């Protein structure tokens, strides 16, 4: 697959919204597409289609045009789908922001995306308004997805939804326009600590959904599946968008929206709505295996469960399958992949693997130092090509060039091996990113915050694996200023941890704690030696286990 013909195949859809609303199984218009697990409010296919077209028209009346962006700052909500779809229908990019962002992080996303509209939630409107003001976005361009009790901003639908005006259909795109027009602009942490806007085109999404669903025979099932899915992962994360909107709606699924996860809320949702499918990160699967309150609920409606963001241990997979009597499959991907690289089907799933390559992609494993292509079961960096792969990062040619080589191969930064049957195994990570529950955390970003703390003279951050949560968590090593050497070290470590946690998003908090050491290991050029820090951590753990 040359770089030129990656985008050669043409599909019957060019605007992603036409594909999402294609109703492959001819479900009736009153079919429920989304239900709010907490309130019971629902949205039918007809309501979804109507809101999508009305929001498209409302954005144009507000002055937005093709090439602009709408940023959302919203926890899971049934109106995310029509907001996303109405935006893309108009040829405008939708840029979902992580709801745990602090103002400075949201400011960066607003600036890079060049968002003309920001839709937030009463719970984070103060942050939204502060970020908007900092980048010059007027308060009249900030809205709330539900009515704000403090009346700080307008409700989005009061301004954009006017059923007396004609709704608009998705704008037609040529094949090349589908390749070139941004549908989603999700953000991903970089190794430099600065988030990057991942360009995902209409064509990227269409190829991902059509090829995956056709290969798995999803659109050919007879009788059609009667899926009820629980959206427990965030819909601002591309894996959530893919599963419950891009793929779920054309499959005719009913998706139950869980605004905020707790293991009890998930179990209640499964029992009440007879959920058949859901996708989760490893910590949720571990909760379902270990937490005794799960035994209080009827989970017999479950038919299939997926897990992504990080590999699960085979032991947990087997315990889950034994307890719930349903297949548990894993996948592996990146936002840059729209988002899938590998996936599993139950008939050939291996518990120690993350699956096999998506059928429309090409992959190779190379030696990270020499670039030499490696063979079966040899571990090296995974490089991929495919119609679902991003063309790069918005306004960041340096990051794009560092990730996509001159031959069009995307370098994932992950060390994998591939066995004789084509099963992929994630072995390690070249990139220094910490993966916390599916979210990427850049150590250098936390180090920059730590160095602003008045107690800290130097700092280094690593990821450590937390067995109980089934995820990596950030741990900081710090050197304190000389005048603090006589202070209580434990109290200082707690103070520094709390100081940092108050200044970063929830997923970036120092859950691994802070440890004071004499010096941060570095090479001659001053680069932090993270392997040496991990060795320090492991030695400390060994000493503690002997006490």
pLDDT at residue 523 in the model? 74
Residue whose tokens read 């859950």: 511
pLDDT at residue 212 in the model? 84
Instruction: State the average pLDDT over residues 29-57.
Output: 98
The H-or-E segment that residue 463 falls in is strand 456-466
pLDDT (tens digit per residue) in 140-184: 999 999 999 999 999 999 999 999 999 999 999 999 999 999 999
Question: Does 331 score more than 50 pLDDT?
Answer: yes
442: Cβ contacts below 8 Å, ≥ 6 apart: 189, 190, 191, 192, 193, 194, 432, 433, 434
Q: What is the DSSP letter of 92?
A: P
Q: Please give the C-alpha separations between residue 60 and each of 17, 89, 123, 475, in angstroms, as whole numbers.
A: 17, 11, 28, 47
Q: What's the whole-model pTM score?
A: 0.86
Q: Please, what is the average pLDDT of the chain?
A: 93
The H-or-E segment that residue 81 falls in is helix 80-89
Question: Does 281 score more than 70 pLDDT?
Answer: yes
Label residue 438 by pLDDT band (50, 70, 90): confident
Question: Does 525 score more than 90 pLDDT?
Answer: no
Six token digits for residue 510: 């120092």
Determine which of 177-191, 360-374, 425-439 has the lowest per-residue pLDDT on average. 425-439
pLDDT at residue 113 in the model? 98
Instruction: State the average pLDDT over residues 180-200.
Output: 87
pLDDT (tens digit per residue) in 197-248: 999 999 999 999 998 877 666 655 656 678 999 999 999 999 999 999 999 9
CA atoms within 13 A on the CB side of 407: 11
Instruction: State the average pLDDT over residues 108-122.
Output: 98
- DSSP character string of 245-287: IITTTTTT-EEEE-SS--HHHHHHHHHHHT--EEEE-HHHHHH
Six token digits for residue 136: 């010059």
* Residue spans of beta strands (DSSP E) within 295-400: 304-307, 328-330, 332-333, 340-343, 355-357, 362-366, 380-385
pLDDT at residue 78 in the model? 98
Q: What is the DSSP letter of 181?
A: S
Question: Does 268 score more than 70 pLDDT?
Answer: yes
Label residue 1 by pLDDT band (50, 70, 90): very low
Instruction: State the average pLDDT over residues 450-461.
Output: 92
Would the CA dihedral through 217, 218, 222, 225 be positive or negative?
A: positive
The most confident of the ranges 185-189, 293-297, 481-485 is: 293-297
Taking alpha carbons only, the member of 452, 472, 455, 456 closest to residue 464 is 472
pLDDT at residue 222 in the model? 58
Contacts 24+ apart (CB under 8 A), 217-226: 218/251, 219/24, 219/25, 219/250, 219/251, 224/25, 224/27, 224/252, 225/251, 225/252, 225/253, 226/276
Q: What percent of the chain has pLDDT over 90?
A: 79
Domains of the chain are 434-545 (3.30.300.30)
Cβ pair 288, 296 in contact under 8 A: no
The most confident of the ranges 303-312, 467-476, 516-525 is: 467-476
């Amino acid at each position: 697959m040359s770089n030129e013909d990656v985008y050669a195949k043409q599909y019957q859809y060019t605007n992603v919204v036409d594909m999402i609303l294609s109703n492959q199984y001819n479900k009736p218009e009153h079919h429920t597409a989304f239900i709010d697990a907490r309130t019971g409010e629902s949205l039918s296919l007809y309501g979804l289609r109507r809101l999508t077209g009305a929001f498209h028209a409302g954005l144009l009346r507000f002055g937005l045009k093709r090439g602009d962006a709408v940023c959302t700052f919203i926890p899971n909500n049934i109106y995310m789908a029509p907001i996303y779809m109405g935006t893309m229908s108009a040829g405008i990019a939708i840029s979902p922001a992580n709801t745990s962002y602090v103002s400075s992080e949201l400011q960066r996303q607003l600036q890079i995306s060049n968002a003309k509209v920001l839709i937030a939630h009463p719970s984070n409107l103060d942050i939204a308004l502060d970020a908007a003001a900092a980048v010059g976005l007027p308060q009249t361009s900030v809205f709330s997805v539900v009515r704000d009790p403090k009346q700080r901003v307008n409700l989005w639908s009061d301004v954009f939804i006017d059923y007396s005006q004609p709704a608009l259909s998705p704008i037609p795109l040529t094949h090349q326009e589908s390749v070139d027009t941004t549908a989603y602009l999700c953000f991903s942490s970089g190794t430099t600590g600065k988030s990057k806007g991942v360009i995902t085109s209409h064509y990227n999404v269409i190829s991902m959904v059509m090829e995956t669903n056709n290969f798995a025979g999803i659109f050919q099932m007879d009788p059609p599946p009667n899926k009820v899915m629980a959206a427990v992962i965030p819909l601002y994360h591309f894996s959530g968008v893919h599963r419950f909107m891009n793929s779920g709606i054309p499959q005719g699924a009913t998706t139950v929206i869980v605004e905020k996860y707790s293991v009890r809320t998930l179990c209640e949702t499964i029992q009440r709505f007879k959920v058949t499918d859901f996708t989760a990160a490893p910590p949720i699967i571990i909760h379902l295996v270990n937490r005794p309150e799960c035994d209080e609920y009827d989970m017999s409606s479950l038919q299939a469960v997926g897990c992504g963001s990080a590999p699960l241990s085979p032991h947990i997979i087997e315990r889950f399958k034994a307890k719930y009597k349903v297949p548990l499959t894993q996948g592996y991907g990146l936002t840059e992949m729209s988002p899938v690289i590998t996936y599993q089907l139950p008939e050939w799933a291996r518990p120690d693997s993350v699956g096999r390559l998506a059928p429309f992609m090409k992959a190779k494993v190379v030696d990270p130092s020499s670039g030499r292509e490696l063979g079966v079961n040899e571990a090296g960096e995974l490089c991929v090509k495919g119609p679902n792969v991003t063309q790069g990062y918005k306004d960041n040619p340096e990051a794009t060039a560092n990730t996509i080589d001159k031959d069009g191969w995307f370098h994932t930064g992950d060390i994998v091996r591939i066995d004789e049957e084509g099963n992929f195994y994630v072995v390690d990570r070249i990139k220094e990113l910490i993966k916390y529950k599916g979210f990427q955390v850049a150590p250098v970003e936390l180090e920059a915050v730590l160095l602003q703390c008045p107690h800290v003279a130097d700092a280094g951050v690593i990821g450590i694996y937390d067995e109980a949560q089934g995820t990596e968590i950030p741990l900081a090593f710090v050197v304190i200023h000389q005048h603090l050497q006589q202070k209580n070290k434990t109290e200082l470590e707690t103070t520094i941890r709390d100081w940092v946690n108050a200044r970063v998003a929830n997923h970036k908090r120092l859950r691994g704690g802070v440890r004071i050491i004499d010096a941060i290991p570095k090479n001659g050029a001053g680069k932090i030696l993270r392997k040496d820090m991990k060795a320090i951590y492991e030695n400390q753990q060994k000493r503690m286990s002997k006490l």
